[in-house]
Amino acid sequence: MRIYRSPRLLRWLFPSAIWKGADEHAVYLTFDDGPSQELTLWLLETLRKAEIKATFFCMGNNVKKHPELYRQIVADGHEVGNHTMQHENGLKTSVGDYLTSVKEARKQIDSPLFRPPYGKLSVKQYLEIKRLHMKVVFWSWLSYDFDPSQSMDQLKNKLHTINGGDILVFHDNPKAADTLFESLQYAIDFLRQKAFTFKTIQP
């Protein structure tokens, strides 16, 4: 079952994490997993034409592989955040190994923003990351653009559940390419018709 909106229980477990943006007249577009050769430049061009700034949560290893794409994200005025070094699942990774991954990624990604891959981490990991003076950022609406079993009609229908202040997750990941090519511009147009503006998550 797809859960498009973040469960209240998670918000209770991590109460000081960022779940929504402060502006109820805006939405916060975010992209996880990049940079990627397949998608990043297309995403940047699409956002440039739409005059939208977004927040990219980057994997350290991908930044090492594609430093020029990371620099272009920053040069275009988008915010960036830490998404670990290798997309570790916090619930399957020790606290020590997880923190090592976050710290290694921080050498590549100049940002205090952090988003846990899969949205999964332990309370202990969460507290240790906060001790690094990092802001843990979750989301309030997930696109499932990585899921090939989701139809485009299903995704478009779920756009109607987006509210002001929502943090939206899409992916800068080849697995999401086919969906993004068709859905991103549609989503931007739909949200603008609902009179939402677009903002970035501030460090």
The per-residue pLDDT for 6 is 79
| Type of residue found at 15 | P
**Beta bridge mates, 81:** 57
The Cα 80–Cα 23 span in angstroms is 19
**Beta bridge mates, 186:** none
The per-residue pLDDT for 151 is 92
Annotated domain spans of the chain: 8-199
CATH number (3.90.1150.10, 3.40.47.10, 3.20.20.370, 3.40.50.300) of 8-199 reads: 3.20.20.370
Q: pLDDT tens for the chain, 203 residues: list them.
A: 678 877 777 788 898 999 999 999 999 999 999 999 999 999 999 999 999 999 999 999 999 999 999 999 999 999 999 999 999 999 999 999 999 999 999 999 999 999 999 999 999 999 999 999 999 999 999 999 999 999 999 999 999 999 999 999 999 999 999 999 999 999 999 999 999 999 999 99
pTM: 0.96
Q: What is the largest CA-CA distance in the chain?
A: 46
Phi-psi category of 77—alpha, beta or left, where left has phi over 0 and alpha has psi -120 to 50? Answer: left
| Type of residue found at 98 | Y
Nearest partner of 187 among 174, 177, 198, judged by Cα: 198
